[in-house]
Amino acid sequence: MIEVRNVVKTYDSVRAVDKLSFAAKPGEIFGLIGPNGAGKSTTIRMIMNIIAPDSGQVLLDGRPLCEADKNRIGYLPEERGLYKKMKVGDLLTFLAEVKGGDRQASAQRIDRWLERFDIADWKERKVDELSKGMAQKVQFIGTVAHDPDVLLFDEPFSGLDPMSQDMLLEAFLELKRAGKTILFSTHIMDHAEKICERILIINKSREVLSGSLAEVKQRYGSPTVRIEFDGDAAFVSGLPFVKACRQFPRALEVELADYEDTDKLYCALAGRVKVRRFEQLEPSLHSIFIRLVGAAQEDLNA
């Protein structure tokens, strides 16, 4: 488990990270979400001890991180870089070696991942011949080749085409199933929504909200149900627990006062119209993010 406690980092006069605390557990994908410049990369660099925090602690399994722990962590920095003149295979072997990975096991893992990302043919080619997307895949393999327990990815999806993004999402889920602790930062809500158990939204160096994705959605979403039906449903808008109602050609989106009212609505519909589809709509993380971060921005502007 990786735990961040009250870390603070100030550059000159700018506070980059202000009293941030969170924990990512094994077998869990934790998303650090925020707009550009919020302090995500600084936080991840402090976990990696590339930058020392001014105050606060970073703990791995309950004790402060030491030099030897670097071997247990895989890190994909936001600033991607690979030694351009090296062959892909040699580079990956080297990256696993400086992380103290077992040579043979690393070699097997490297081959497996290259295969999986469809770049096995490039193993003997030089890095500077790779396309940007391929280089990013190679960088990902370099991060996992030594089989670390903890994985930190800083904006792992940026610069990838949709197909490669899906490949990476799959890979994340596989690593999670293998019991790895995964922490990644992104400003693309869609990715966080797809794979994260828990999230922390950070804006202007401070935590805006954190918790499990389900909790967050419940806390910040309003209960909305989408109904597709045959018949006349005009009566719905008159029901006492319905706050608002939006009519679409063949569907109805009903905003309720409370989550508890979902059942009441279903009962009210039963027998009066033929329900083909009854779906509890969740607010997207995107909309929550825009609401919270946007509001904060307006507060500042006001």
- List interacting residues with another protein (CB under 8 A): 45, 48, 50-51, 67, 70-71, 73, 75, 77, 79-86, 94-95, 97-100, 142
Q: Minimal distance in Å, beta carbon 85 to another protein?
A: 6
Round to whole Å and give the CA distance between 68 and 47.
14
Q: Cβ of residue 80: shortest distance to another protein, in angstroms? A: 6
The residue type of 214 is A
Q: Which is nearer to another protein, 32 or 227 (CB)?
A: 32
Amino acid residing at 244: A
| 190 vs 195: CA distance, rounded Å | 9
Give the shortest CB-160-to-another protein separation in angstroms: 18
Q: Which is nearer to another protein, 67 or 298 (CB)?
A: 67
Give the shortest CB-70-to-another protein separation in angstroms: 6
The pair phi, psi for residue 118, each rounded to 5°, is: 60, 35
Nearer to another protein, 15 or 80 (CB): 80
Q: Which is nearer to another protein, 70 or 217 (CB)?
A: 70
Q: Which is nearer to another protein, 81 or 162 (CB)?
A: 81
Minimum separation from the CB atom of position 100 to another protein (A): 7
CB closer to another protein out of 12 and 299: 12
Q: How far is the CB of 97 from another protein (least distance, A)?
A: 4
- What are φ and ψ of residue 190, in 5° steps? -55, -45
Least distance (Å) between residue 164 CB and another protein: 20
Q: Which is nearer to another protein, 140 or 172 (CB)?
A: 140
Query: 148-160 burial, b for 16+ CB within 10 Å, e for fewer?
Result: bbbbbbbbbbeeb
